[in-house]
Amino acid sequence: MVSNDFLGHLPSNIGSLFLPNLQVLTLGNNELSRTIPNSILNALELIMLDLSHNSFSSSIPEAIVGNLSTSLQRLYLYDCNIKGNIPEEIGNLSNLIDLRLFHNELGGPVPTTIGRLHMLQGLVLYGNRLKGSIPYTLCHLGSLDTLSLSGNELYGHILACIDNITSLRTLDLGFNQLNLTDNITSLRTLDLGFNQLTFSIPSSLWRLLITDLLLVDFSSNSLNGPLSLDIGNMNVLRALDFSRNQIIGRIPVTIVNRLDGSIPTSIGELVSLDVLDLSYNNLYGEIPKSLEELSYLKHLNLSFNKLQGEIPSRGQFVHFPATSFMSNNGLCSEARMQVPPCKGKKAIGIRILKYVSMAVGLMRRISHQEIIRATKGFSANSLLGEGSFGFVYKGTLLEGTIVAIKVLNLQVLRNIRHWNLVKIITACCNMDFKALVLEYMPNGNLDMWLYSENRCLNMLQRLNIMIDVATVVEYLHLGYTTPTIHCDLKPTNVLLDEDMVGYVADFGIAKLLGDGVSLTQTMTLATIGYMAPEYGYEGLVSTRGDVYSYGILLMETFTRKKPTDDMFTGEMSLKSLVQESLALSILEVVDANLLINENDYAAMEKCLLSTMGLALHCCADLPKQRIGIENVLATLNKIKLKFLKDLTGR
């Protein structure tokens, strides 16, 4: 009975309605209010009770906790406005595996009786008003995998005995008033941000963390002294945040190869890095160009340092905002970075090439005859595919370079340049023939991978590809004063390089929006199934139309169902199918290959629910109801980070 918009309150006799063997009761995501009735205790065989995401205004009934002691394994009362203290009787739930009470208004101490729950694997109490110290009895939870107490009012020391919990993978104690011990082992995620840590981090702590740690957050404390050399042995590290501390000295040589007091060039070798936050320190020197090679870097914050020189402009730097570099008085770049222009650099004006404004004049020009030779006379064997405005051929240039050659109208490409846009190698142009010579993508397009019989994309690959596409769309919409609308986002226009990085192609029908928020297109050139309703009915083109197409593309990427599939007739559509699945079972509509190739179904299900919910926000019927692509990108990055945390926390 999840997500049915039920109103009112649960009847006081609800327990008498249960069959004796009822094992699962889920009433989450409704609008239930008032109290949780004591009669629920009559369901003595209950294994799972989920009343999350409601609006109760009562406390947790002590009777419920006490009388379900032999059966209940999962208790989910999160985000439902419950008040009062966590009852001591919670310790009677001897078979409890997962306890989630986060995002409520619970106060008082963390009950010491929780230490009796020897089967407990997940204790998630963040976002309440819990007070006092962390009880010593939690160290008795030998099966505990996840401990999340962040966002409360806890104080004192983090227990030294927590080292006894060898199964612990995620320790989330941020936003409290805690101090640290150095006996913590085997963690994957360590979040101690916004506490009162006031010491130099000892080497003994780092040596205990070097094996599996992926995410570390020590931000906004009062840590001092230098970083330990042992930090460099954290070989699987994905995110490290030491911002807003008092750390001194240089970055340890164990992280990088060469140091000179600035950000070392070889930090670009941390190829899996997602987040790099070095803000509020005393770093100086230039930002190394090697950071442009960090293709997975989604968040960069170098603000409030003493950096100087030119801000890099390639790679992921094309969409980092000005706030990533603020309060570094020696930096220079283009105007959008809100820093002075670099001396000796000419301001970028209007590019005046008639068809391609990229620096084609600096490229080797290629003749029509060479294109004919490279494509074997545009033979059928060289044909890669057909775009909206022409054909794409595979060709080999005289020097042996394999390229893709597309014949199209190049007008819209005048100011387009982004890391995840297919690169233009050169061009051929005469009175009767216009063609681009593009970088060849050896892994074809997304459509080929989705519908292949012998190849499959895993969950993380699909997320990364869709993030790549979103970065391009954000750039098109917001990267210049004149927004560009792609108009034809679909799987065949998402190309994949040798590293499975997604690139957006086919700008044959793209539109420059100018000063308005929309324009009217008299010819319907987008692809049926992906175009926004207002484009099909009225010819109305806007950036929100691209967002709609992106939402459909997002659904297709994870369901492996085309919006034009024969199964979608009448009122049934890909959008409605996904919408219904959110209330029932999202795993029933996703690509079956994902279920075969992913091991952690719980993490995958949560990720899919969030991703498909985002897709539906993109596909709202009215343009003004759709979210902007910048918010789409930010949300999808958060979904990915949460998915990684869920995987590593298990």
The binding site for ATP comprises 406
Q: Where are the alpha helices (DSSP H) in 236-383?
A: 368-374
Q: How far is CA 597 from CA 64, 232, 352, in A?
A: 40, 32, 50
Asked about 488 being catalytic, the answer comes back as: yes
**From CA 188, how far away is CA 161, in angstroms rounded?**
18
Question: 433 — alpha (psi -120 to 50), left (phi > 0) or beta?
Answer: beta
**From CA 141, how far away is CA 415, in angstroms rounded?**
59
- Supply the angle between the helices 543-559 and 601-618 in degrees, to the nearest 10: 150
Catalytic residue among 98, 241, 468, 488: 488
3-state secondary structure at position 370:
helix
Indicate the pairing of strand 284-285 with strand 275-277: unpaired
Q: Are 169 and 648 in contact (CB under 8 A)?
A: yes
Indicate the pairing of strand 131-132 with strand 98-100: unpaired
Nearest Cα neighbor of 575 from 608, 623, 530 is: 530
Nearest Cα neighbor of 108 from 77, 159, 153 is: 153
**From CA 307, how far away is CA 311, in angstroms rounded?**
10
Q: Is 365 exposed, middle or buried (0-12, 13-18, 19+ CB in 10 A)?
A: exposed
Which residues are known binding-site members?
Answer: 406
**From CA 159, how far away is CA 136, in angstroms rounded?**
7
Tokens 């160009």 — which residue? 289
Q: How far is CA 407 from CA 319, 411, 427, 525, in A?
A: 29, 12, 10, 17
Q: Are 131 and 154 in contact (CB under 8 A)?
A: yes
Nearest Cα neighbor of 206 from 188, 179, 184, 222 is: 184
Who's near 598: CB < 8 A, 6+ residues apart?
A: 458, 459, 604
Q: How far is CA 144 from CA 97, 101, 461, 495, in A?
A: 9, 16, 30, 43
Instruction: Report residue 336 as tokens.
Output: 């959008």
Nearest Cα neighbor of 616 from 79, 608, 525 is: 608
Nearest Cα neighbor of 209 from 228, 225, 222 is: 228
Q: Where are the alpha helices (DSSP H) in 455-600?
A: 459-478, 533-538, 543-559, 574-583, 592-597
**From CA 199, how far away is CA 574, in angstroms rounded?**
55
Instruction: Report residue 206 as tokens.
Output: 């780092």
Could you list the active site residues?
488
